[in-house]
Amino acid sequence: MAAAADNTAASSGRILVHCLAHGAWAFGYALAALVWLSQAESTSDINTWAMRFLLVGAIGVMGSLGIQLSWWGRSHVATVRFWASWFAVTTLCNIVGIPMAVRLFY
């Protein structure tokens, strides 16, 4: 009985670390993206802005998926639970992290 309680605490601690990693990534990524995108000159053409925006988005997705892969492992990539949990935690962290970064930056 005590072993089951220990596993629950360990798994809830692990879940907390996973959520904090996603939250820290969303906040740090948003802050870095704001800094990098704001450094482009206002007279830059649309291609400069588009490439920066696409690169920032790709880096954001890769980092988030890296965190998710470290949590689930490669054997679970083809499961619905992997992608549903990634979408849910990424959406939640972006809803919280990006506005915090915008408030801090501006």
Determine the structural domain holding residue 72 and report its residue range.
13-105
C-alpha angle 67-70-73 in degrees, rounded to nearest 5: 130
In a domain, 49, yes or no: yes
* pLDDT score at 10: 54
In a domain, 1, yes or no: no
Q: Whole-angstrom Cα distance, residue 28 to residue 30?
A: 5
Cβ 76 vs Cβ 82: under 8 Å = yes
Our count of domains for the chain comes to 1
- Interval 1-22: pLDDT, tens: 445 544 554 578 888 888 888 8
pTM above 0.85, yes or no: no
* pLDDT score at 11: 79
Residue 31 phi/psi, 5° resolution? Answer: -65, -45
Q: Where are the alpha helices (DSSP H) in 1-106?
A: 2-38, 46-72, 80-105
In a domain, 75, yes or no: yes
In a domain, 7, yes or no: no
In a domain, 72, yes or no: yes
In a domain, 30, yes or no: yes
Per-residue pLDDT band for 50 (boundaries 50, 70, 90) equals confident
Per-residue pLDDT band for 60 (boundaries 50, 70, 90) equals confident
